[in-house]
Amino acid sequence: MYKLIDGKVISAAVKERVKAEVATLKEQGITTGLAVIIVGEDPASKVYVNNKKKACEALGIISEEYALLETTTQEELLSLIDTLNKKESINGILCQLPLPKHLDETAVINAILPEKDVDAFHPINVGKIMQGDFDFVPCTPAGVMEMLAFEGIEIAGKTCVVIGRSNIVGKPMAMLLLHKNGTVTICHSRTKNLKEVCQNADILVAAVGRPNFVTADMVKEGAVVIDVGINRVDGKLIGDVNFGEVCEKASYITPVPGGVGPMTIAMLMQNTLTAAKKQNKVN
């Protein structure tokens, strides 16, 4: 019988922890502030930004939203980031991706000060994750690690397989599992014998962006299965894991929706708090 890893319950616990610490900082005269930049009219991005704003309000974090026109130039966007870098009341800066095609995402990410980069996309923060000496972790992999810890799932010595090698999820996910002494394999579109590789996994993380990609015949009996995928099919949210099949073999499994998704914003709040504490030299 599998156990469902409930992202709503775990994210609520993270938010309560963050809320208490934000309140403690406020008692010391320290505010916590997050600036979110959105360029253009992408509907999914607008939903994400609105959810982040609500989370900030609920936890006592000051939220500043900068909604820029689709026609915003690179120079205008970098100028705003420079202003926010210098603004003491803002501890974290997040620029909602994807950006319109005429803007250079790499230049934008690199322009955010590493100590305010709460998405952990800046090359300095990426390098720190590689070394295992980091302040921030990209929010989705951080959420997965929080879920495993919450459920008391041991990583050390386990065979861990990550399907997907994106900079946002796959690569940092693999590094975090490695830092916890997992034996990690990263799989991707060129991986040979993918099914056999996945069948060896004690912990399987699917972040490939293909609905129902992971089927029961790819999963070892008793494996922990983490579904990072969010795919919209016929108006429904579907994960990368065929839940109906795989749950019969898994010991633990995350649902979609209600699994990893809620954790992403919770960990953004955690990263923003961490930034505020670091910038104000609070342990």
Q: Quick one: which of 174, 144, 184, 160 has its CA closest to 5?
A: 144
Question: What pLDDT, on the 0 to 100 scale, is given for residue 224?
Answer: 98
Q: What is the dihedral of CA 61, 66, 70, 73, to 10 degrees?
A: -120
232 phi and psi angles, rounded to 5 deg? -95, 115
Tokens of 67: 């909604």
What is d(CA 112, CA 260) in angstroms, rounded to the nearest whole number? 26
Q: What is the mean pLDDT of residues 186-192?
A: 95
Question: What pLDDT, on the 0 to 100 scale, is given for residue 44?
Answer: 83
Read off the pLDDT of residues 146-170 as tens digits, 9 standing for 90 and up. 999 999 999 999 999 999 999 999 9
Question: What pLDDT, on the 0 to 100 scale, is given for residue 9?
Answer: 98
Share of the chain above pLDDT 90, in %: 95
Beta bridge partners of 76: none
109 falls in which pLDDT band (50, 70, 90)? very high
Question: What pLDDT, on the 0 to 100 scale, is given for residue 2?
Answer: 96
| pTM of the full structure | 0.96
Q: Do domains 29-113 and 139-260 have the same CATH topology?
A: yes
The number of CA neighbours under 13 Å toward the Cβ of 8 is 5
> 131 pLDDT exceeds 90?
yes
Q: What is the mean pLDDT of residues 4-17?
A: 98
**From 15, 52, 158, 180, the catalytic residue:** 52
212 falls in which pLDDT band (50, 70, 90)? very high
Active site residue 52: yes
Tokens of 2: 């599998």
Q: Quote the strand ranges of 69-202, DSSP E.
A: 92-95, 159-163, 183-187
Hey, where are the domains in the chain? 29-113, 139-260
Share of the chain above pLDDT 70, in %: 100
Q: Report which residue type is found at 136.
A: F
> In whole numbers, what is the pLDDT of the chain averaged over residues?
97
**From 117, 119, 202, 227, the catalytic residue:** 119
Tokens of 36: 């979110």
Task: Compute the residue count for the chain.
Answer: 283
Q: Which CATH class is domain 139-260?
A: alpha beta
99 falls in which pLDDT band (50, 70, 90)? very high
Tokens of 151: 């459920």
Question: What pLDDT, on the 0 to 100 scale, is given for residue 42?
Answer: 86
Read off the pLDDT of residues 29-57 as tens digits, 9 standing for 90 and up. 999 999 999 999 888 888 889 999 999 99
Instruction: Tell me the three state secondary structure of residue 65.
Output: strand
Q: Quick one: which of 66, 3, 12 has its CA closest to 34?
A: 66
Q: Quick one: which of 217, 220, 238, 242 has its CA closest to 229?
A: 238
**From 15, 96, 171, 270, the catalytic residue:** 96
Q: What is the mean pLDDT of residues 236-251?
A: 97
Question: What pLDDT, on the 0 to 100 scale, is given for residue 240?
Answer: 98
Tokens of 118: 């709460």
Helix-then-strand count for the chain, H and E = 10, 11
Does the domain at 29-113 match CATH 3.40.50.1980? Answer given as: no
